[in-house]
Amino acid sequence: MGGHVDRNLVVEFGRRLRRLDLQVEFALGSETFALVGPSGSGKTSVLRAIAGLDRPASGRIAFDSTTWFDASRAIDLAPEARSVGLVFQEYALFPHLTAAENVAYGLRRHGIGRREARTRVYAMLERFAIRDVAGVRPGSLSGGERQRVALARAVAADPRVLLLDEPLSALDAETKGRISAELAGHLAGLRLPTILVSHDFEDVIGLGDRIAVMEGGRIVQEGGWRELLEAPASSYVAALTGVNYFRGTATARGELTEIRSSEGEAVFVSTEPASGPVGVVVYPWDVALSTQDPSGSARNRLAGPVRRVAGVGNRIRVTVDSRPSIVAEVTEQSRRTLSLGPGVRVIASWKATGTRLVPRVT
């Protein structure tokens, strides 16, 4: 997955904004790179700079051998001269055009004939399952349909880089899970260097191959989601990434749902209804640690030796080498009472209500 191939897109620039000194540096190949951070951390500004909508003060942005921006050489290609597909936060669909006309919008330029454009629009409508709403204006589309139209429009023009600004934030919680899975499927199929921006860590777990956390205009930590979860570099990252994530297959068992973990022999119990492949999210602060078999209502158990203890303030993150491995968040007092340290065998437990199920694609 993801492909740690050669880095096509190189981004390194600085820009002073009113309340922010933006300074970023990263490169990516045909993979999905997620930028996560609170509003005002500069995520959207990064996307706008790459798209050519804002001009950084210094640095360089290049794709393969083409320089899009270079402050020292006074190169600054116009947005239309860069091959960037940008999906805006509120999708920015043209309200006066139908879904199909929106998708066709970027195809009107030299080299693409009318007939070819038409064929390509139909292919896009088909691919993103929006053929039924082809003649509908954005005002009458649902949130999910709008997102697919926006994605189809961005992709139709054959961009070299895809930029997604908060692709899920405009959706209500109910449709979010389904759309997220859909989006992950589309991104996997596109195989484009993709930068995805979100304020929600949970949203990007299933989408980003690499995740960079932004705070105050800088990338403060970068890595896979598990890396960020296990060893948050700051209390902000810890708060942001506070989840465990497993893959499994769900089956209904009366009132409850049983999830067979894809890794190891573990079986989780959840109060949330689901069936088939699911993602399992468990918050570290829902997980209790004990050295003896715990009594009580906790239906979920994972046992193993402690691999790592990382303290951030009074939030102590304990990684347990169970199968699958889990991170618990305990207080400093618990750490001392249980004398938690690497190698100590513990049992992590949590209630069925603490097993949250999210859709997954693969």
Partner 1 sequence: MSVRARGRGDPILAVAAGLATVVLLSFVLLPVAAIFLRTSPARLIAQLHSKVALDALGVSLRTTIIALAAILMLGTPAAYVLATRTKRWTVVMTTLLELPLVLPPAVAGLGLLVAFGRNGLLGRPLRALGLAIPFSETAVILALVFVSLPFFLRQAVASFGAVDPVLLAASRTLGVGAAGTFFRVALPIARPGLSAGAGLAWARALGEFGATLMFAGSLQGRTQTLPVAIFAELAQDFDVAVSISALLVAVSAGLLVAAKLLLRERPLWADTWTGISSSSSVAA
Which residues in this chain contact partner 1 in the complex, by CB under 8 A? 48, 51-53, 78-80, 82-86, 88, 90, 92, 94-98, 100-101, 104-109, 114, 117-118, 121, 125, 131, 134-136, 153-154, 157
Of 112 and 361, the one with the shorter C-beta distance to partner 1 is: 112
Of 1 and 78, the one with the shorter C-beta distance to partner 1 is: 78
Of 136 and 312, the one with the shorter C-beta distance to partner 1 is: 136
Distance in Å, CB of 291 to partner 1, minimum: 56
Distance in Å, CB of 143 to partner 1, minimum: 17
Distance in Å, CB of 62 to partner 1, minimum: 17
Distance in Å, CB of 154 to partner 1, minimum: 8
Distance in Å, CB of 26 to partner 1, minimum: 20
Of 93 and 181, the one with the shorter C-beta distance to partner 1 is: 93
3-state secondary structure the chain: CCCCCCCCEEEEEEEECCCCEEEEEEEECCCEEEEECCCCCCHHHHHHHHHCCCCCCEEEEEECCEEEEEHHHCEECCHHHCCEEEECCCCCCCCCCCHHHHHHHHHCCCCCCHHHHHHHHHHHHHHCCCHHHCCCCHHHCCHHHHHHHHHHHHHHCCCCEEEEECCCCCCCHHHHHHHHHHHHHHHHHHCCCEEEEECCHHHHHCCCCEEEEEECCEEEEEECHHHHHHCCCCHHHHHHCCCEEEEEEEEEECCEEEEEECCCCCEEEECCCCCEEEEEEECHHHCEEECCCCCCCCCEEEEEEEEEEEEECCEEEEEECCCCCEEEEECHHHHHHCCCCCCCEEEEEECHHHCEEEECCC
Of 46 and 259, the one with the shorter C-beta distance to partner 1 is: 46
Of 73 and 110, the one with the shorter C-beta distance to partner 1 is: 110
Distance in Å, CB of 112 to partner 1, minimum: 10
- d(C-alpha 282, C-alpha 313), whole Å: 21
Of 154 and 348, the one with the shorter C-beta distance to partner 1 is: 154
Distance in Å, CB of 267 to partner 1, minimum: 45
